[in-house]
């Protein structure tokens, strides 16, 4: 870990909760629209208009030059897909990654949606990715080490034959989009020394591939990341606040999949 992770004071926790709660409401708002026939640009417009109409800011718009208000990644796209005129079709799996800035505080999450009827292979990948996220969340407690997250996800996913993406990881979040600690989703030497203390806020966002863990970045747009073997990829993400009682999931939705959900 470079630098020092931020430990938020207890009076700041409510600001983290408010930002994340709005982000979760945005996910629920767009949920009914993620279906065959809609373009990813139309989903982006829904995200943008809902956010701005509530007086908030889409964090990805303009971030390091990213041109849209959310990331939408379909099938073999691992992350950072740019919304465009691509039409969602029956059988796709699509990850929608949204981040909101609410009065200077960030909330961040993503979900992989099943578009209509999907293959058994796709459904199982989505299920295992979802389960791996909650397995990791349920593993940690105050003063747990970051490596416990990587071990939980990696051991579970690889035993079932999935590749765990290594090039991208979770991150600290709060007053800024990306801060320490970095949260790898596989065991990284040194991360056993990085402790998760009360007041730390971070994301866990495993990306699992149906084949190799290796990825390729699109040289044309500089953002879109695909699996190296063009096999399917899925991701789920939540923003987590570590409290004295344990991890608090700040971005749980009212209408989305809850812990234990079966796809």
- pLDDT exceeds 80 at position 143: yes
- pLDDT exceeds 60 at position 2: no
Cα 10 to chain center, whole Å?
25
**Is 108 annotated to bind ligand?**
yes
Question: What pLDDT is recorded for position 3?
Answer: 63
Across 240-259, average pLDDT: 98
Across 133-145, average pLDDT: 98
Across 102-112, average pLDDT: 98
**Is 80 annotated to bind ligand?**
yes
Catalogue all structural domains in the chain, each as residue range(s) with its CATH number: 10-249 (3.90.230.10)
**Which of the four pLDDT bands, split at 50, 70 and 90, describes residue 4?**
confident
d(CA 147, CA 209): 20
**Is 97 annotated to bind ligand?**
yes
**Is 151 annotated to bind ligand?**
no
**Is 237 annotated to bind ligand?**
yes
The tokens for 157 are 């996913």
Mean pLDDT for all residues in the chain: 97
User: What angle, rounded to 10 degrees, do the helices at 120-139 and 147-159 form?
Assistant: 150
What does the buried/exposed string (b/e) look like for 171-202 if buried means 16 or more CB atoms within 10 Å of the residue's CB?
bbbbbebebbbbbbbbbbeebeebebebbbbb
User: What angle, rounded to 10 degrees, do the helices at 13-30 and 40-53 form?
Assistant: 140
**Which of the four pLDDT bands, split at 50, 70 and 90, describes residue 1?**
very low
3-state secondary structure of 108: strand
Do the beta carbons of residue 40 and residue 74 sit within 8 Å?
Answer: yes
Question: What pLDDT is recorded for position 122?
Answer: 98
**Is 205 annotated to bind ligand?**
yes
- pLDDT exceeds 90 at position 96: yes
């Amino acid at each position: 870990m470079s630098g020092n992770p931020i430990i938020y004071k207890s009076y700041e926790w409510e600001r983290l909760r408010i930002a994340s709660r709005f982000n979760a409401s945005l996910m629920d708002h767009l949920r009914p629209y993620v279906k065959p026939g809609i373009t990813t640009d139309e989903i982006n417009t829904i995200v943008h208009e809902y956010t701005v109409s509530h007086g908030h800011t889409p964090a990805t718009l303009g971030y390091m030059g990213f041109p849209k208000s959310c990331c939408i990644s379909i099938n073999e796209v691992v992350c950072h897909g740019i919304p465009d005129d691509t039409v969602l079709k029956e059988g796709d799996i699509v990850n929608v990654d949204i981040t909101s800035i609410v009065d200077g505080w960030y909330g961040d999450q993503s979900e992989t949606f099943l578009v209509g009827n999907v293959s058994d292979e796709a459904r199982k990948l989505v299920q295992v990715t979802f389960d791996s996220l909650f397995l990791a969340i349920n593993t940690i407690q105050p003063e747990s080490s970051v490596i416990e997250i990587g071990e939980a996800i990696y051991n579970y996913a690889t035993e079932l034959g999935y590749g765990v993406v290594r090039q991208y990881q979770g991150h600290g979040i709060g007053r800024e989009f990306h801060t320490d600690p970095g949260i790898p989703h596989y065991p990284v030497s040194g991360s056993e020394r990085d402790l998760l203390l009360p007041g730390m806020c971070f994301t866990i966002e495993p990306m699992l591939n149906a084949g190799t863990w290796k990825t390729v970045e699109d040289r044309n747009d500089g953002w879109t990341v695909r699996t190296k073997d063009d096999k399917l990829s899925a991701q789920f993400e939540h923003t987590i606040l570590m409290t004295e009682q344990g991890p608090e999931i700040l971005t749980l939705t009212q209408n989305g999949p809850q812990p234990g959900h079966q796809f």
